[in-house]
Chains A and B, each alone.
Chain A
C-alpha cells in the first residue's frame, strides 16, 4: 500500500515536471546560483543581474533608479543613497506611492538584503507586467554593497532627485 502511495506521488511529480516544462510561468528546477524561488523562467530571461561594482558605476553615472525592496524599517536604518523604498511585502500599497518616481523608460536596479534574498527578482516579476523593461537586480544585495566599501545612508525617504540630475549622494568608496 505504501508503494502505491509512493506511486501516486511519482505520477503527480511526473505530470508536474512535464507541465512545468511547458507552463508559461514555469519555474527553474533546480535553482541556480542567484536564482530565488518562485521566479518564473521568463523573468530570468528579461532581467539583468550585476555585481555591486557594476551597480556602483551605474549609481555614479546616475543612469539608473535604485530601488530598495527590503522592509521599510530596514530601509530607514540604512540604504543606498538616492534609493527609493519599494518593499516587496507592501508592494500593492507602496507601488502607487512611488510610481511617479519610476518612469517606465528608465533602467531600474533593485537590491535586497544579501546573496540569498530573492525579493529583487520578485519585485521585477511584479514590475515587468506594468510596462518596465529595463530591470536589473544587484547580486549580493546591500550586504555585498557595504562589503565592497560603498556607502549607505539612513533616513525615511530616498531622494526625489530625478535620474541623471541633482547632486545628493555619498555612495563613494
Chain B
C-alpha cells in the first residue's frame, strides 16, 4: 500500500474515530427519520433523509474534506516534517493521492453516507435515472474542492519559501475560495443565479433547460456533472504537478497549456452559437485572461528564476526558456491568439450587443499586460510577503480612481482610458492607446526593479 496513504489512514481513520463518526451520523439520520414520522407526505422521511445526506456531504465532503486536504500539507510544515517527506522515495503521484484521499479518509467515510442518502432520496423521489449523475457530480465536487485546497496549500508553501516565511492556512482559504469562484463561473454559465456556487446547483440543474455546448443540446444535470468531473480531474492533475515541484522535479509547461486550452474550449462552447467564431474567440480569450491573473498571483515571485529565464532567452535555449517561463505567459500567448481570431472574425452585433470592438479587445489585452506588470512590480518589491495585497489595492485604485478622474476630466472617453470594460463598444482606440502606454510604463518599472535586485545581489 502507498505508505503515505497508509500513514494517513493510521492517523485519520483509526477504528475509534470511525466508530465515533458512525454513532454521530446514526443519531443524525435517526433524528431526521423520527422528525418525519408525523408528516402526511409518504415520501417525507426519504426526502428529509436526502436533505440531511446533502448537509452531511457538504459539511464532511466539501468543508471538512477541503480543510483536511489543505492541512495534509500545512500540518507537515507546522510540524516540521515536510522536509522529511520531500526527501522520501515516494513518487509525486503517490504522495498526492496518498495525502488527498488519506488525509480526507474519515471525511469521505462520513460524506459517502451523505451521498448514499442523497442517491436513495433521488432514486425514490425523482427516479433512478438521475441518481447516478447527482452522486457523480457531488463526488466530483468533493474531489474538486479538496484538490483545489491541496493545490492552494502547495502554492502557499512555495510562495512562503520564496518569500522567506512560513506558509499559513490563508493560502488554503484563498484556494478554496478560488475553486468556488471557478465553480461559480461554471454554474453561472448555466444561468443558475443566486445559488450557483453551491451544491444546490446540481439540483437546480434538474429543473434547467438543456445546455447548448458547441451546438449540442445536453441535459443540464449531465453537463454540470460531467463538467465537475472534468474540472475535478484537472484539479487533481494540478495538485500532482505542484507536488512534483515540491519534490524537486521539473515540470514542463505542456500540461498547463493543455489545461488552458481545455478551459478556453469549454467556456467557448458555452458562448452564443449565433455569435459564431467571434463570440467563441472572445469567450475563450476572456477565460485565458482570467487564467493569466490566477497564474500571476499563484506563482512565487522568484527573481532568480526570472534571471535564468532571461539568460535562456538570450542564449536562445527555447526549451529551457519554456520550462522557466512564468505560467501567466502561456495564458497570455493563447489569449492573444484568441483575441486576434476575435478581431479577424465577422461580428454579429445584433446577437451580442455587449461584444467589444476589435480595438477594445486589443486594449483589454494591453490592460491585462499592464496589470501583470503591476502585480510583478509589487511582488518583486522589498516586501514580497505583502506584494499580493499591495498589487490588488493598486489595481483597484487604478481602475476606480483612474476611471473616476478620467471620466470627470474628459468625459466617457477619459473614463474608458482607465476602465476599459465600462465602454466596450466605442472609444476603442482610446482604450488601446491608454492600455499600451500604461503597460509600457508598468513593465519599465518592473525591469528597473529586477535590475536593482540583480545589482544588490551582485554586491553582497
A and B are interacting partners = no
Residues of B within 8 A of A (CB): none
